[in-house]
A and B are shown apart, each in its own frame.
Chain A
Amino acid sequence: MTPLLLVSDLEHRYGARTVLRIPQLQVQAGEILALVGPSGAGKSTLLRLLNFLEAPSAGQIHFRGQPYTPQTLPLALRRRITTVFQQPILLDMSVRANVAYGLRLRTGGNGHGQEDAALQAVGLAHLAPARARTLSGGEAQRVSLARALVLDPDLLLLDEPTANLDPGNVRAIEEIVATANRQRGTTIVLVTHNVWQARRLAQRVAFLYEGELLETAATADFFERPQHPRTAAFLHGDMVY
């Protein structure tokens, strides 16, 4: 089966420093793939490349079998993927207008109620008319998720979406993510520091270390039978970083 996303011979450099080198990585349609690894491993950089926000220094990314090189970062493709970042950046407008923002970019009009349904799905319909900048961190991240999910993306990229949130909000966001994957079949790549979160949500886990993809495996195998010694050290908390 053709993967939704196939990364091959990908390299990314900042000046002379190579920050990412991935010979191959597949993202299957409908799965949640967790990317774990210590800080500075290149996880967030990889997400930016997967969202076509940055062109890789070398290599190819195939989306639904079609290759894209560093020179071709088409808007139509970028609009089938979206990212929720660690820090929710909401615009200085109402919560409803924030959720409708991506829809307005595509159609020029409003979301015809889709934004209200999206807010309902994240449990914040009552805050639709509120000013977005008055929300708490957890509420803002849920609005950020609603703003991404309302676009019904082929691929949703989550860059540590629950970092710095309280357990209640972590649980709420994990439920939203799991529901989107289960009910709508949304393909998700989740970057997380929290290996337990990866274990709870993902079907597969990939381990990045210093820009190298050291191991990718089904979640149970990854946690119970890690193949690479650095993966084992990371999981056992022996890796100092």
Chain B
Amino acid sequence: METILRGVVEALQLLLSFDADLREIVGLSLWVSGAALAISVVMGVPVGVWLGLRQFPGRQLLVALIYTGMGLPPVVVGLAVYLTLSRQGPLGDLGWLFTPTAMILAQVILALPMVAGFTMTAIAALPAQLILQLRALGATPAQVNLTLLYEARNGVLAAIVGGFGAIISEVGSVMMVGGNIDHKTRVLTTAIVLETRKGNFDLAIALGVVLLGLAFMANWLLLRLQGRLDPRM
């Protein structure tokens, strides 16, 4: 208990001192997970809308793959990305291994199925006659899709929150493909692992408190956005 309290105190001291190393680690964590989330949203939301609306041969297989992707173990993703980007791998020439780009790629693979899957479920739950009504009111296909997204906004925001939660807190893939290199690929989760191994529990707990605080703030912002869009809140 004493260790935890010391960790919380140290976290506050670290935050108040604007420690340069901490700022760098927090900044990189936000950059990697923020970029991965943005890419996942740009790709995953349209895929989710498409899957939620269309019936076609092979759809069930695709949905099963997405559902499987929602439960992918981060270490397995890390291993696959590591092998792909390693010197002998098919994308080895890109030189991405042990860079933030590799970490973003791994986190996109983790977040994309969650964003697409939850969006698909939210869109599919809308009334079947809604599209017909929107078209009867003169909506173009793009206007129909935007309105459907608006109507399913709570589910879509839950998809984004879920995707962010899955990647900001994961350590397996970023450790494997980023390598936890100081001043280059060290993020909050990998720094916590390192400090714990070194026996610096106070610092590890402090970093954990910062990570929790970041996750809370990100979710709070998304919930505020949800509240602004939802007349019930």
A interface residue numbers (CB < 8 A to B): 48, 51, 53, 75, 78-79, 81-83, 85, 87, 89, 91-94, 101-102, 105-106, 131, 147-148, 151, 157
CB of A240 to closest CB in B, whole Å? 29
A85 to B143, CA, bound (A): 20
Q: Hey, which chain B residues are within 8 Å of A82, CB to CB?
A: 136-138
Which of A79, A89, A148, A151 interacts with B127 by CB under 8 Å?
Answer: A89
B23 at the interface (CB under 8 A from A): no
Whether A106 contacts B138 by the Cβ 8 Å rule is yes
B interface residue numbers (CB < 8 A to A): 127, 129-130, 132-133, 135-140, 143, 147, 150-151, 230-232
Nearest chain B residue, comparing its CB with the CB of A147: B137
Among A85, A87, A92, A102, the one with the most B-chain Cβ atoms within 10 Å of its Cβ is A92
Q: Hey, which chain B residues are within 8 Å of A105, CB to CB?
A: 137-140, 143
Secondary structure call for the A interface: mixed
- Contacts A85-B129, A105-B143 given; does A91 touch B150 at CB 8 Å: yes
A82 to B133, CA, bound (A): 9
A52 to B132, CA, bound (A): 11
Whether B130 contacts A101 by the Cβ 8 Å rule is no
A225 to B150, CA, bound (A): 52
Nearest chain A residue, comparing its CB with the CB of B230: A92
CB of B93 to closest CB in A, whole Å? 47
Whether B143 contacts A89 by the Cβ 8 Å rule is no
- Contacts A101-B137, A151-B137 given; does A91 touch B132 at CB 8 Å: no
- Contacts A101-B137, A105-B138 given; does A48 touch B132 at CB 8 Å: yes
Whether B231 contacts A93 by the Cβ 8 Å rule is yes
Whether A53 contacts B151 by the Cβ 8 Å rule is no
A102 to B133, CA, bound (A): 11
Q: Hey, which chain B residues are within 8 Å of A147, CB to CB?
A: 137
A75 to B138, CA, bound (A): 7
Q: Hey, which chain A residues are within 8 Å of B129, CB to CB?
A: 85, 87, 89
Whether A92 contacts B132 by the Cβ 8 Å rule is no
Whether B231 contacts A85 by the Cβ 8 Å rule is no
Which of A85, A89, A91, A151 interacts with B138 by CB under 8 Å?
Answer: A151
Whether A92 contacts B137 by the Cβ 8 Å rule is no
Among B136, B139, B143, B147, the one with the most A-chain Cβ atoms within 10 Å of its Cβ is B136
Which of B132, B150, B151, B231 interacts with A131 by CB under 8 Å?
Answer: B231
Q: Hey, which chain A residues are within 8 Å of B140, CB to CB?
A: 75, 105
A45 to B136, CA, bound (A): 13
Whether B231 contacts A78 by the Cβ 8 Å rule is no
9 contacts between A and B (CB under 8 A): A53-B136, A82-B137, A85-B136, A89-B127, A91-B151, A92-B231, A101-B137, A105-B137, A105-B138
Q: Hey, which chain A residues are within 8 Å of B133, CB to CB?
A: 83, 85, 89
- Contacts A75-B140, A105-B143 given; does A89 touch B135 at CB 8 Å: no
Q: Hey, which chain A residues are within 8 Å of B138, CB to CB?
A: 75, 78-79, 82, 102, 105-106, 151
CB of B68 to closest CB in A, whole Å? 32
Whether B135 contacts A78 by the Cβ 8 Å rule is yes
Which of B136, B231, B232 interacts with A51 by CB under 8 Å?
Answer: B136
Q: Hey, which chain B residues are within 8 Å of A51, CB to CB?
A: 136
A213 to B143, CA, bound (A): 35
A94 to B230, CA, bound (A): 11
Among B138, B150, B232, the one with the most A-chain Cβ atoms within 10 Å of its Cβ is B138
Which of A81, A94, A157 interacts with B231 by CB under 8 Å?
Answer: A94
A79 to B127, CA, bound (A): 22
Q: Hey, which chain A residues are within 8 Å of B232, CB to CB?
A: 131
CB of B110 to closest CB in A, whole Å? 31
Q: Hey, which chain A residues are within 8 Å of B130, CB to CB?
A: 89
